[in-house]
Structure 1
Amino acid sequence: MKEGKKIIVPPSREDLVSVPPHVPPRDRIPLPKLTEREVTRRVNAFQESSVKVNLSSSSLPSICMYTFFNTNGGMNCMDISEDSSLMAAGFSDSQIRVWSLTGTFLYELKSNEELDDLEDSEFDYNSLFDKSTGSLCKTLIGHSGPVFAVKFSPDNRFLISCSEDTTARLWSLELYSNLVCFKGHNYAVWDVDFSPMGTYFATASSDRTARLWNTQYIYPLRIFAGHLGDVDCVKFHPNCNYLATGSSDKTCRLWDVQTGTCVRLFTGHTGTIYTLSISPNGKYLASSGEDKVINVFDLSTGKQFGSFIGHSSSVYSLQFSSDGNMLASASQDNTVRLWDFAGLDSTPRPSNLQLAAFPTKCTPVVYTRFTRKNVLLAGGFFTSSD
């Protein structure tokens, strides 16, 4: 009997690509099929990111600061859309306001009757909107308590908000009305974050839990329980498989979105944690808050990677630059500070790597975000110097 030929199967593309260990597969989290609009958005985002400025100690970013006047301390939060075309802010009077940053009017969709009257020959995207409703600012009313956080969806179609009234609400940025009210938390909801891929969002609450939601369902998909105090902030990992939380119990935790289990516990803070940021490569977590110290943790090992000290009051916002070389922080001490993250070594000790500090006159800074081209956007509310 003759020995048969050995069949050699060529390696697949996946076999040829070097995949780092412990990286979850891309299809681990179920996501809807990409629409044509979403594909276009991602292509535009990639093209814009490809021409970003590489930041360093000798090449600091340009900063655009938005200051809110006459808020009387009533502004609690703000967010700027990924393409920097829209800005939203939440207030203590339970209202949310959305502004156009490009000077383009915001229009509402026509009524159902008007849409039904449109003929196929007249149909185009602009014909769907009522031109008489155009304005540079829209007000969203629905919450029954102070609004503590707002977040745009990656495609600018939706806005998610959370409030002291224990709910999160999904708003349409085409209808400028409330679509869904998500109920599940028992106490005030402090923070909310949209998944980088859209569809999913997470909330953090005073009931000591964080929860995962899908915009298609009214109930939570996962409940992340383990913190011993209020969960004050929440942040998605860039790969959407993990969720980071910060708490008044002075710890941060990293949760597996699929299983709902805590996979990392980070300690080192001496006060409530107000803000989190994850590096673009997904390797590091930065956290800060009441103790004014910015701690950086290695997500793979769970150990502290380093820290930055310089602020004289609570830190409200952290943001990595698009290239991951720089970290921006915003504080109640009326400053925005830039830190040399690329120069941080692996020794977990306070590091004097501050590149610059940009003070405002009387404006506590509550928000920072780097654009795709590495321009730094910041915002806060003006307070009297008296």
Structure 2
Amino acid sequence: MLVTKISELPGHQNPIFTIEPSQKAGIIFTAGNDKGVVEWSLARMEFIKVMFPVRTSVYALHCVPGKPLMAVGERSGEIGIFDFLEQKIIARLQHHQLPVFDLKSAPEKDELLAASEDGTVSVWSLSDFKLVYRFPVAADTVRVIAVAPTTNLVAFGCKDSMISVYNLLDYTLVCRLPGHTLPVTSLQFSPDERYLLSGSRDAQLKIWNVAGMNLHESIPAHLFTIYDIKFHPTLPFFATASRDKSIKLWSAEDFKLRRTISREKGYDIHRLSINKIAWDPARGYLVSVGDDKLVMTWEIDPEE
């Protein structure tokens, strides 16, 4: 693989915790320990504007597929709903008293799921923004959510090192997957939903067979916490990002390492923890954010 750094965008004054592609091609949003959610252009590689202010640090952003909405999960536990057409916050969902760490939607059900430090998941209607359901998942923090809409599964990664898999239709427990030794910090279903990938503070990347809910492979992927896992939108590979200040690119077919993006390998990458990554569907760029307050864009040529 040939990896080329396209841009390095400053602007944030504090660490960036999350990044999310817009429903509109070429636009991304970032947020963190700053006072607002920021909009960037990947076409021009530049800052556009601060979309709106926030009251506390933002840990999660989620642009709802098929709707002009973005959900914002804050440290306070509040979830803001921003309407792109009205260009304002149209609802504030107040239920959790502790931070909301992840947000995902179930499009077929028109619902929004929120994972919190209080150990529960809340389910909200995307029609009227009312609380539909709430259920306990762990005794402590639920850190991350992954949704598999075709197989009707939703997985939650927890601070107690467990992965809890639920039925997406009625939110009944399917199974719990032990294996990690420290908190689970990243989860992602493969595009064909055959595999569930998990990353942890134990630096292990685990691949689970969805059909049998059993461990397929365990890989010592990084030196420190794996904070994110993201599959390329069209090509058979995925990326992992870590507190060890590196991004690694892997084959989605045999789970072999294809490339390491790190300072040790000669790349001008983040100097502090890489907290989140995202693929730009329009151009195939990989975008990374971290504690160094920078937004970096990478071009990946898998054929090199």
Question: What range describes the TM-score normalised by the shorter chain of this pair?
Answer: 0.7 to 0.9
Output the amino acid matched with 2:186: T
Partner of 1:140: 52
Structure 1 residues 165-224: Cα deviation after superposition (integer angstroms, max 9, x where no partner) = 111111012332101111222321111123356932211001101122222233322323
Cα–Cα, structure 1 residues 176 and 239, in superposed 2: closer, same or farther, change >3 Å? same
Q: What secondary structure is seen at the aligned counterpart in 1 of 2:131?
A: coil
Give the % identical residues.
16
Contact 1:244 1:252 in 2 (8 A): yes
Residue 302 of structure 1: how far off its partner (Å): 1.2
Q: TM-score, normalised by structure 1?
A: 0.67
TM superposition shift of 1:248: 0.2
- Which of residues 224, 229, 247 is equivalent to 2:140? 229
Moved more, 185-194 or 246-255: 185-194
Pairwise CA RMSD of aligned residues? 2.8
Which residue in 2 is equivalent to 1:187?
A: 98
Q: Does 1:339 pair with 2:214?
A: no
Higher RCO (Cα < 8 Å, 6 or more apart): 2
- Is the CA contact (8 Å cut-off) linking 1:210 and 1:224 kept in structure 2? yes
1:365 to 258, 274, 294: 274
1:211 pairs with one of 76, 98, 122: 122
Question: 2:301 is matched with which residue?
Answer: none
Partner SS for 1:221: strand
- Contact 2:159/2:183 (8 A) holds in 1: yes
By how many angstroms is 1:259 displaced?
1.6
Give 1 or 2 for the bigger CA radius of gyration: 1
Q: Secondary structure at the match of 1:296?
A: strand
Where is the strand percentage greater, Structure 1 or Structure 2?
Answer: 2
Normalised to the residue count of structure 2, the TM-score between the two structures is 0.84
Counterpart secondary structure, 1:136? strand
Q: CA shift at 1:239, angstroms?
A: 2.5
Q: Which residue of the partner structure matches residue 289 of structure 2? A: 380
Question: Map of 1:76-155 to 2, 5 A cutoff?
Answer: 76-81=17-22, 84-103=25-44, 136-141=48-53, 143-155=54-66
Once residues 61 and 178 of structure 1 are traced to their aligned partners in structure 2, the CA distance between those partners, rounded to angstroms, is 41
Q: State whether structure 2 residue 200 is matched by structure 1 residue 289.
A: yes
Higher helix share: 1
Is residue 196–residue 240 contact of structure 1 (8 Å, CA) maintained in 2? no
Residues 92-130 of structure 1: per-residue CA shift (max 9 Å, x gap): 24421222333499xxxxxxxxxxxxxxxxxxxxxxxxx
1:306 aligns with 2:217: yes
In structure 2, C-alpha distance between the alignment counterparts of 1:84 and 1:104, rounded to whole Å: 13
Q: Which residue of 1 aligns with 2:188?
A: 277
Q: Cα–Cα, structure 1 residues 87 and 205, in superposed 2: closer, same or farther, change >3 Å? A: same
Aligned residues: 287
Contact 1:150 1:160 in 2 (8 A): yes
> Compared with structure 1, are the counterparts of its residues 97 and 257 closer, same or farther at alpha carbon in structure 2 (3 Å cutoff)?
same
Report the Cα distance in structure 2 between the residues aligned to 1:260 and 1:268, rounded to whole angstroms.
Answer: 23
- Mapped to 1, the partners of 2:161 and 2:103 lie a distance apart of 19
CA distance in 1, matches of 2:36, 2:50: 10
Report Cα offsets for 1:128-187 as digits up to 9, x if no partner: xxxxxxx9223312x422111112122462111101111111101233210111122232
The 5-angstrom pairing of residues 1-80 of structure 1 reads 60=1, 67-69=8-10, 71-80=12-21
The answer to whether the 8 Å contact 1:368/1:376 transfers is no
CA distance in 1, matches of 2:73, 2:199: 21
What is the match of residue 51 of structure 1? none
Gaps of 5+ in 1: 1-59, 106-134, 345-352
* Paired residues of 1:317 and 1:366 also in contact (CA < 8 A): yes
Are the equivalent residues in 2 in contact too, given 1:277–1:318 (CA < 8 A)? yes
